[in-house]
Amino acid sequence: MLTIWGRKTSSNVQALMWCVGELDLRCHRHDAGHRFGGLDTDAFRKLNPNGTIPVLQDGNNPPLWETGAILRYLANAYGGNAFWPRDPVQRAEIDKWAEWAKINVAMDFTVPVFWQVVRTAPAQQDQHAIEQAVAALDSKLELADTRLSENTYLCGSDLTLADIQLGHILYRYYDIGISRALLPNLRRYYEKLTERRPYQEHVMLSYDELRVT
């Protein structure tokens, strides 16, 4: 049994929960962070000295933090060969795109775009900075759009760990009020993700409680 700490509105928790759902694993999730607090307690700092979510504990194994490491652990322990190939070369190809998506897309979206548009009061928002951040993000997403012109998913015909790292931000990317580049293959890919039940259950969630007005 997996135990997870983290509120369901956290994008990193969403990536993790989506992965748990895709791998059809059982887990118990404890709300923590943002309005639930609890990240400064001694008990939580023993789980994660960084005081961040998500944290995952699998049975009595040591707790894991850092979303990328947690996702790779789940893929190693429970993923099938299509999701996370056993062959090191094939696996590295997927890991490369997963890392790319985390560093270039998720990080370029979350703070510079999502936080500015949703977690900043309208009067404090810098529209020019937001436009520049969206343009920088879209230039990275163009790479994904090009790949997706030939592949159903980021690394071929099957959903892999790379899709978890790319896809988990797309619900918010398409939902918030920004002017996006026209990336038809990415859009088609996103719409395909929205048909997946674990994506609906863990990613397509209201973020209203995060909104600063």
Place of tokens 């994660």: 48
Q: In degrees to the nearest 10, what's the CA dihedral of 152, 157, 159, 164?
A: -50
Q: For ligand GSH, which residue of 21, 33, 85, 198 counts as binding (CB under 6 A)?
A: 33
Span of 9-17, 23-31, 139-147, 167-175 interacting with ligand GSH by CB under 6 A: 9-17
**Whole-angstrom Cα distance, residue 207 to residue 191?**
19
Q: For ligand GSH, which residue of 53, 98, 117, 161 counts as binding (CB under 6 A)?
A: 53
Is residue 20 a contact residue for ligand GSH (CB under 6 A)? no
Is residue 166 a contact residue for ligand GSH (CB under 6 A)? no
Is residue 12 a contact residue for ligand GSH (CB under 6 A)? yes
Among 62, 52, 43, residue whose Cα is nearest residue 13: 52
Site size toward ligand GSH (CB under 6 A) is 10
**Whole-angstrom Cα distance, residue 109 to residue 204?**
16
Is residue 47 a contact residue for ligand GSH (CB under 6 A)? no
Question: In the bound complex, which residue of the shown chain has the CB atom lying closest to ligand GSH?
Answer: 33
Is residue 18 a contact residue for ligand GSH (CB under 6 A)? no
Question: What distance separates the 2 farthest-apart alpha carbons in the chain?
Answer: 52
Is residue 162 a contact residue for ligand GSH (CB under 6 A)? no
Whichever of 38 and 156 has its CB closer to ligand GSH, that residue is 38
Whether 169 and 12 have beta carbons less than 8 Å apart is answered as no
Here the tokens at position 96 are 């490369």
Whichever of 52 and 160 has its CB closer to ligand GSH, that residue is 52
57 — alpha (psi -120 to 50), left (phi > 0) or beta?
A: beta
| Binding region for ligand GSH (CB under 6 A) | 10-12, 33-34, 39, 52-53, 66-67
